[in-house]
Amino acid sequence: AAGAPVKAEPGLRPLGLRKDRDALLYVPESSAKFEKAPLVISLHGATRDADRGISLFRSLADEHGFLLLAPASEDGTWDAIRGLFGDDVKFINRAMARTYELRRIDPARVAMAGFSDGASYSLSIGLGNGDLFSAVFGFSSGFVIPGERNGRPPVFMSHGTIDPILPIELCSRRIVPQLKHEGYRVTYREF
């Protein structure tokens, strides 16, 4: 049909949504097996960029065939880490819309993931929009930003026991019991 997304060529490409700190889309060759591809949105940690969002999951994308979308925060970290959602969440929405233009995506297999500050942002966005995400991942999360939540996607979290930046006792060991209390299915690993 006219205007229908095509199968984007395999490889890594910037989406060209902004001059600095753009979003990257990685289409692994293994995604060709899917008519509608699974998608993971990967959010980098503080002081990092979209390259880090890709490198966190690239080998898994190659193995399993999911597309990997890595937007970059506008500044050194995600805006809501300092209090309020703003331009970063709008940019993630734009990057997702562009990805959906480039490749058919399976709406039942879209996950939000992140590391460190990106994990806090991932949990906050993923749980707030749980009707859009089939899973939410938080690797070394600091907190979840309070707000309205929709849906009940399963959650996977992990955290290192000697994390000097986001101490496990103050972070994941508080988040996990709270999410379970709220009725989320949480798989949690400490390392």
- The residues of the chain scoring below 50 in pLDDT are 1-2
Instruction: Give the helix/strand (H/E) hosting 24.
Output: strand 24-27
Q: What pLDDT sits at residue 122?
A: 97
Q: What pLDDT sits at residue 110?
A: 98
Phi-psi region of 116 (alpha: psi -120 to 50; beta: other; left: phi over 0): left
Integer Cα distance of 77 and 58 in angstroms: 21
8 Å CB contact between 124 and 99:
no
Q: What pLDDT sits at residue 181?
A: 97
Decide: pTM greater than 0.75. Answer: yes
Q: What pLDDT sits at residue 111?
A: 98
- Number of Cβ within 10 Å of residue 180's Cβ equals 13
Q: What pLDDT sits at residue 1?
A: 47
